[in-house]
Structures are given as C-alpha cells and as structure tokens.
Structure 1
Amino acid sequence: MKLNIKLTIMLLFTVLAFSCKNEEKGEDNNTAKTKDVSENLNISLLLDLSDRISPTKYPNPTMEYYLRDVGFINSVSEAFTEHVRSKKVIRAHDKIQLFFDPTPLNPEINKISKELKIEINKANDSKELIKNIKSIYANYPLKIYNLAIKDGNYIGSDIWRFFKTKINDYCVEKEYRNILVILTDGYIFYKDTQMKEENFTTYLTPESIKSNKLNSSEWNKKIIKQKLGFLKANNDLSNLEIFVLGINPNPKNPYEEDVIKTYWTNWFQSMKVKRFKIRNADLPSNMDKIIKDFISKKD
C-alpha cells in the first residue's frame, strides 16, 4: 500500500512538472511571436523640398545640403535592407516609403516617389529585391532633388499640417515598429498654414526667433515664461519614433540651434512621440552610424 502511494505521488509530480514545462515553452513561443511582430519595420521619409535645398540661395562648398539629404536617405535604406536581410523569409513583413507635403507640381517627381514605396513580404522577399531597394534608394532621391532644384519652384513644406492630418494614416500601422525620418533644416513655414494661439504657432523662422528675442543667453527662460512653442498637431503618437535630420540654424544667432531643438523637443513630447532624435546637417559619413543605430535600436 505504501509503495502504491509513493508511486502515485511521484506520478503526480511528473505530470505537474511536464505541464509547467509546456506552459513555459508556450510563453516563450508567444513572446517570440510578439517580438517578431514588433520588429516589423514601417519606415517613412518626409522630405522638405523648400528653398533650403537650393545650392544658389544656400551654397555650401563642403557639400551641398541636398546631397547631404541624399546621403542620409541612403543610410536609412541600408539600415532597412540590413534589417530585412537578418530576418527569415517567412517572417518578412516590412515597409519603406517616401512622402512630401504638399505634393510637388512636377508630375515626374510624383512618379519617382511611387517607385520608392516598397513592401517586403514572404511572397516577394529575395536577394534580388533587396539589392534593387538599395539601388533605387541610392539613385531615385537624387533625381527628385535635381528635378526640384531645376524647377526652382520651391513651394515649401507643410510639416505641421502633415502631422495634423496625414501622419496617422501614412506613417503609423498596427503590429509594426513605425519610424518617421524627417529631412528638414528645422524651420517650419508654409504660406497657407500660419496660425497662432497665444504664443504657440504653426511656424518657426529666423524672423520669428528674432522677434521673440531668442538670441541671448536668456532664450530658454523666455520660452518658458512666454510659453513659446509649436501648436500641438496630434494628440497621440505613442506608436511612432521620429528622427529629424538636417537642422541648419542661422549662424548669426549662436543660440538658434538650441531654440530650434527645444521647439521640436517640446512639440514631440506634447504629442507623446514614443522616441525621437534631432541632429544637424552634418556630413553623411559622420551621420551614417548614428542613423543606423537609431533604426536598429542600438543607441
């Protein structure tokens, strides 16, 4: 009788141990599945095609600003393809695309931008496609900038309105890690989107910085005291990471860079942006690792 009781107890312990092990294994599988979903990349690039890219108005003997943009875009596309290459084909589910706001008047630019909207999935994932993505993103953006410069019709960039009316539909998707890369000099201005509520505005220009007297060491105190900043354009961007590249402050004001970055930082925080980084218009060779680290979450 005692022997039977002992055998029964041992059998129960074995069953319980086996069940617990299976539960743990199930949890690991669920965790892995969730992790895979969260690592589906949805990368959007928003280009500011205002006169900031003009080599005539803003020449730079070291490297023109539009060529720096092209270099930044190339780093983003390389990070994207490296990510896709690291995944198994069955788990491929990633997107990269490019936007402007407003849409350029040149139909050729819009035609090229459609070629830059690419989705990778298990049905089309291949080494040849990945190679094509690198080639497309290395060459097509340069064509866009050259066309915009040749036209000379710099209609500006309505970044604030893009955040207000388009960003959720264009750049944020469920079950993706959503990343928006904005290529801009940091100033925001569009002729048809000029609003002001108290001291919050939809624009920031060298002139507005000067008129608010943010050109002294007291600039931050003035921002806080006068409640200066961008008008909130969105209530919840908690599923979006943003990298702003190309900040190019007016060199006549030594505090301009700090003012620009503070405006953007406060704006992103008010809209609950999940994660963000703001960097100057440095040389692409210096920014390559920083860009790739941001996308791979190594920073």
Structure 2
Amino acid sequence: MKSILLSLLIIATFTKESQAQPAKQNLNISFLLDLSDRIDPKKNPGICQRDLQYIKSVQKAFANHVKGKKMLLLKDQMQVFFNPLPNIPNINQLSEQLKVGFSPKTSKKDFIDIDKFYTDNPAKIYQRAIKDGHYIGSDIWRFFKNNVQEYCIKPDHRNILVILTDGYMYHKASIMQVGGKSSYITPQSLASKKLNTAGYADIMRKNKFGFITFPYNLKDLEILVLGINPSPGNPYEEDVIKQYWGDWFKTMKVKKFDLLTTDLPAALEPVINNFIQGKL
C-alpha cells in the first residue's frame, strides 16, 4: 500500500513540475555546417578553429541547461546536419555520435560523452573535409526547402537551428533565379547588382532582391547564424548579406534570429550563451 502511495506521489509531483515547465525548457538544438571551401585554411586561415569553438560554445550552453534541470524533467536533444553529406570516412558514425538526447533515464556517462563527442568529432569532420580537399559545397537553400521543418522542429520544445556559414549561399545544384529573387548570393552576384553603396536597401527594395523563399510558417524555430565573413572591398557587403538573410527569415515567419559576423570565439561566447538561454 505504501509503495502504491509513493508511486502516486512521484507521478503527481512529476506531472505538476512538468506542467510548471513551459515547452521552451526542452531544448532541441540543430547544427547546419557549411563545409564548403570557406573552411580551406589556405583561403581563410583560422575559420576552421573559430567554427569549432563556436560549436563548443553552443554545446557548453546546452550542457549547462541540461545540468540545471531535474532528472525527471529531462527532454532535450542536439544533433548535426549537413547538406549535402560530405564525402569523408566514417561521416555516418561521427554524425550519429553527435546526435545526443537526454531523458530521465540518462546516465552520468551520457553527460561525459557529450563533452567528449562535441570536442573530438567536429574536429575530425573538419580535418577530414580539409584533407580531402574536394569541397562539395553547402546547399543551405535546399536544406530549408526540403528538410528544415522535418529535421529541426520538434513539438513541445524550444527549437534552435545554429548555422555556421560565411553568409554567402551557393551550390551548383541550386542555381535559380525568379525575377529579383535567387537561391544564391556570391560576392560576384552582389557586385553585379551594384549593392555597394549606402543606398543598397533602396536598390534591394526597388528590384525586389532577396532569396527565393518558401510558404513556410517557422514560428516554432529560432535561428542563430554564426561566422558571417564578408569579402573585403565593399564596405556594405556585411549589411547586404544580413539584409538577404533577415528578409528571408522574416518571410518564413522565423520566431527569432540573430546574424553574427565572425569574431574571436571568446567575444561571441557570451552572446551565444545568452541566445541559447533565451536572453536575447
């Protein structure tokens, strides 16, 4: 009889606490990694290491969130995506180990493993992609078209997509133009549109420049873009890139987003932490 009462008490307590916890307390974090030639150390020295530190900062914020919850309330997960899949050894195994989930059945080993996997595996992925040298590019536009809703949005969770990219969007399999809208932007395409003056916003508005969008309602998705790295020569390039991305996200009704230019990881870590904690 006592055991039955104790079980009922535990269930009642768990139910009460679960109801008191809003869905946003359950984190579902997804990474989308741009492994194009932007990570080539000959082309962009230091970008690879910055990416790895950004990933680590997100992982630390996620781990702190999980450790701050009661075991009975754990319902959090994190995973990594690529599009297309890089042609490097053991990519399936490496990415599978980066898919982590926490529940009331989580063991102490799981807490140790997440730190190890998110230290070792991203470094292996980047190193092997660089060693391979045949950068297949990153099709971010098509990932949004085909996968973002299914892969990155989980009911009863606070869904966050972290995109590591330089802000340019291009893949040979997704080169489309519809009026002023396109599926890509490159330094060359922006220069051809004469978006290199203080009046870039007016030019974009007049010509309806922007990314080809989709009739999606991503009201349950927050997006953090890290590593925007405008090419030198155009003082407005960063603003133009952010305008393209910001307009795209707004059209798809993204709940919240932030677009951060590449910087020292130590400078961005508190910003990343605040975003994951919901303080931004």
Establish whether TM, by shorter chain, passes 0.5. Answer: yes
- Percent of pairs identical after alignment? 47
**Which residue pairs with 1:37 in the alignment?**
23
Match status 1:95 vs 2:77: yes
Deviation sequence 1:180-221 (CA, Å, 0-9, x none): 000000000000101111100000100110000001112111
**Structure 1 range deviating more: 85-94 or 229-238:** 229-238
Mapping of 1:255-274 within 5 angstroms? Answer: 255-274=236-255
1:102 maps to a residue whose letter is P
* Structure 2, gaps ≥5 residues long: 1-14
**Cα distance change of structure 1 residues 34 and 227 upon mapping to structure 2, 3 Å threshold:** farther
Structure 1 position 89, deviation (Å): 0.5
Match of 1:179, SS? Answer: strand
Distance (Å, rounded) in 2 between the aligned partners of 1:151 and 1:34: 50
Aligned residues: 267
Match status 1:200 vs 2:181: yes
**Which residue pairs with 1:187 in the alignment?**
168
* Structure 1, gaps ≥5 residues long: 1-28
Mapping of 1:1-299 within 5 angstroms? Answer: 33=19, 35-59=21-45, 64-124=46-106, 126-299=107-280
Deviation sequence 1:241-280 (CA, Å, 0-9, x none): 0000000001111100000000000000000000000001
**Cα distance change of structure 1 residues 142 and 217 upon mapping to structure 2, 3 Å threshold:** same
Match of 2:90, SS? Answer: helix
Structure 1 position 105, deviation (Å): 1.6
Structure 1 position 36, deviation (Å): 4.0
Distance (Å, rounded) in 2 between the aligned partners of 1:101 and 1:233: 18
Distance (Å, rounded) in 2 between the aligned partners of 1:270 and 1:33: 33
Distance (Å, rounded) in 2 between the aligned partners of 1:289 and 1:259: 25
Structure 1 position 128, deviation (Å): 2.9
**Cα distance change of structure 1 residues 247 and 53 upon mapping to structure 2, 3 Å threshold:** same
Match of 2:278, SS? Answer: coil
Match of 2:38, SS? Answer: helix
**Cα distance change of structure 1 residues 30 and 90 upon mapping to structure 2, 3 Å threshold:** closer
Distance (Å, rounded) in 2 between the aligned partners of 1:34 and 1:262: 38
Question: Is the Cα contact below 8 Å between 2:18 and 2:73 reproduced in 1?
Answer: no
Distance (Å, rounded) in 2 between the aligned partners of 1:143 and 1:106: 10
Deviation sequence 1:3-48 (CA, Å, 0-9, x none): xxxxxxxxxxxxxxxxxxxxxxxxxx87961634331100000000
Structure 1 position 223, deviation (Å): 0.6
Distance (Å, rounded) in 2 between the aligned partners of 1:185 and 1:109: 23
Match of 2:122, SS? Answer: helix
Q: Let me know the Cα RMSD of the aligned residues.
A: 1.6
Question: Is the Cα contact below 8 Å between 1:36 and 1:91 reproduced in 2?
Answer: no
Scaled by the length of structure 1, the TM-score of the pair is: 0.86
**Structure 1 range deviating more: 230-239 or 265-274:** 230-239
2:118 maps to a residue whose letter is Y
Scaled by the length of structure 2, the TM-score of the pair is: 0.92
Structure 1 position 139, deviation (Å): 1.6
